[in-house]
Amino acid sequence: MRILVLPGDGIGPEITAATLTVLRAAADRFKLDLDLIEDIAGHESLQRYGTTVRPELLEMARAADGLVLGPTATFDFNPAKGEINPSAFFRKNLDLFANIRPARTFGGVPSKVGAFDLVVVRENTEGFYADRNMEQGNGEILVTKDVVISLRRITRQACTRIARVAFELAAQRKRHVSAVHKANVLRIGDGVFLDECHAAARQHPGVQLDDYIVDAMMAHVVRAPSRFDVIVTTNMFGDILSDLTAELSGSIGLGGSLNQGDDYAMAQAAHGSAPDIAGRNLANPYSLIVSASLLLAWHGRRSKQTAFVEASAAIERAMESAISAREITRDIGGKLGTREAGAALAARLKSR
């Protein structure tokens, strides 16, 4: 498996290094043929090449079996100057339409809401985000200096395929899908989304479907997240909801994120680049490690190589063990630095 690795900005290089330590340990234990190709994107690329994402990186990503993207300082980049958001660039150009965001509790990490294990499946290519809902130009329009119109794009095709992914995932889990929407106000767009969720339910008669208005869902998921299995929703609602569920697990640093399409996939930490702690060996590497583990499983299922799926499951078991033993970073109750947490997890992975 060839993986293009772009460490990104801020804490990105630190958590990426820890992630690669774990991937190499998994490769050793499960005899995986891993080819890790490192390059740059974000601020380092801007300084060296004058652009945050070089055009050839897209072809490198297409030629690879997967992409690992560390957090990038997207808020710093000015699209008017050609400074591209790397995450949006790869999501759009590789058509990574499904953002898979698992969230679960771990023994040893305090949770105020009880144990749960769920996955948010978020549509990734359209919606309200101005950088991905137009073929050309920006989805926000400055009508006057005091009036802004933001366009939201919803297509039946995108709703159909995100519903399909959610139901296929639920069929492998607890056979329950919850669709989150605002169809009481956004009647047409979210109406199309709900229509396609119900169509997918008819194709998967063994999977239960229910639906929730997004504001009510926020209350439900805080009160009793254990009620949910697979949650499917549109882009902006999914962005907010997946951060909430990751934090409910104990820390957003535990939340994985896989951006997948029919042909490509990109592992990406669920959090930002945290420049305030960059270079201090403080960051929790688990979010990117979980994401890379999801990438291994995606490749294994797609290529019918069970060793990659087994390696992914072993990484999760090693995480559970390391958390129980407090071989973790300070944000979740441990005393280790970023490098040490990655090394401890790799050691457990090799020994089990």
Active site members: 129, 182, 215, 239, 243
Q: Determine the Cα–Cα distance for residues 228 and 208; give it in Å rounded to an integer.
A: 11
| Cα Rg of the chain (Å, integer) | 20
Question: Contact at 8 Å (CB) between 289 and 345?
Answer: yes
User: How many angstroms separate the most distant Cα atoms in the chain?
Assistant: 63
Report the b/e string of 72-82 with b at 16+ CB within 10 A. bbbebbeeeee
Helix (H) or strand (E) run with residue 219 in it: helix 214-223
- Token pair 């409910």 is at which residue? 248
Q: Determine the Cα–Cα distance for residues 272 and 130; give it in Å rounded to an integer.
A: 19
- Count the Cβ atoms, other than its own, within 10 Å of residue 315: 25
User: CA nearest 72: which of 90, 60, 93?
Assistant: 90
3-state secondary structure of 315: helix
Question: Contact at 8 Å (CB) between 97 and 261?
Answer: yes
3-state secondary structure of 153: strand
